[in-house]
Amino acid sequence: MADRSRTPLLVAALASMLVLGLGLGAAAFALLDDGTTIVRQVTVENSEPVAASDLPATAIYDRAEKGVVEIAASGGSGVGSQSGAQGSGFVFDEDGHIVTNQHVVAGASSISISFWNGVEREATLVGTDPSTDLAVVRVNAPKSLLFPLPLADSSAVRVGDPVLAFGSPFGLEGTVTSGIVSALHREMTAPNNYTITDTIQTDAAINHGNSGGPLLDRRGRVIGVNAQIESESGGSDGVGFAIPSDTVRSIVRQLVATGEVEHAYLGIRMAASSDGVSVTEVLPGTPAAKAGLRAATGTEVVDGQEQPTGGDVVLAFDGEKVTSAVALQSAVDARRPGDTVHIVVLRNGSRRTIEVTLGVRP
């Protein structure tokens, strides 16, 4: 016969284990008529221990400050004093790779890194990507100076999430400001005038010198790299924009591996349409031109809005419905040069599928 007196204790112990996150992950249990307790292990996807929950800003600062650096680039064309540019960055790995903005180190003849304890090291440029405004530099430093910051999954970020912006605004190293994610899927113009899609908008105060510094979530993980400010005064009374960590992860890995980044390229200009995305121009010699995509030949006013007519309207890209120019650009960005894709267009009232081999963005 089962000992019924032990059942409540066992149930209580299991409940406390679940509350404390002690290794079970999750458990299902039931009491039989004879008092026997059956316990089954249940795997919960994406479950995390309590230790991974949101941390107070002070704890995040204590964890992250050693991974954030100040960057001085002389002879460059970035934002800063006459003698050069000043910005921020963060440690990517224990090999001494540091992430920052391309516009901070653009054209620099020398780059200096200042760590959390005031120690300075000269850095060498590994590579830059003007299309995403990202750059990687490397320092020869002992591991006692290198505290890499983990990258989060930026696709999981939500509007309203609390964030902290780290950096050296106006050369004031070790500065942190707080705010929230104000919006997602914003667009920024890159230094080479291409569009950076899916950027994160925040109201955390960002000023000159914050460029290249990390935007952290409340678990101390990097969700973006602070890059631009939109403000009438040019200061933090506006809003800031950060390059999402998913983009950072992809670009930085390529820069670390080869020093270069190649972006997939279609070669069209486009505009919003009620059905999908209208092709307004097909650039000569591009993959789009070689595949036979057609540009609009005129315009008409629909519900007070001028819309292109006479050309292709992109409805789908490799099986995914296209709802906006940003969506189409993001779909192209997710591919590699040389990939063959199938684009569904509406032409003269009929659907057709066009095969395109993507090129390399010039």
Cβ 186 vs Cβ 329: under 8 Å: no
Options 211, 236, 245, 273, the catalytic residue = 211
Q: Establish whether 342 is a catalytic residue.
A: no
Q: Which residues pair with 101 in a beta bridge?
A: 134
Options 88, 97, 129, 133, the catalytic residue = 133
Q: Establish whether 133 is a catalytic residue.
A: yes
Whole-number Å distance between alpha carbons of 354 and 338: 16
Cβ 352 vs Cβ 283: under 8 Å: no
Q: Establish whether 211 is a catalytic residue.
A: yes
Size of the chain, expressed as the number of residues it contains: 362
CA proximity to 157, closest of 232, 90, 243, 71? 243
Whole-number Å distance between alpha carbons of 236 and 238: 5
Residue 225 to residues 90, 166, 167, 323, Cα–Cα distance (Å): 9, 10, 10, 27
Provide the CA 71 distance to its chain's centre, in angstroms.
21
Residue 254 to residues 143, 206, 251, Cα–Cα distance (Å): 23, 28, 5
Options 97, 103, 208, 263, the catalytic residue = 103
How many other C-beta atoms are found inside a 10 Å radius of the C-beta of residue 174?
13
Whole-number Å distance between alpha carbons of 355 and 353: 7
**Which residues are catalytically annotated?**
103, 133, 211
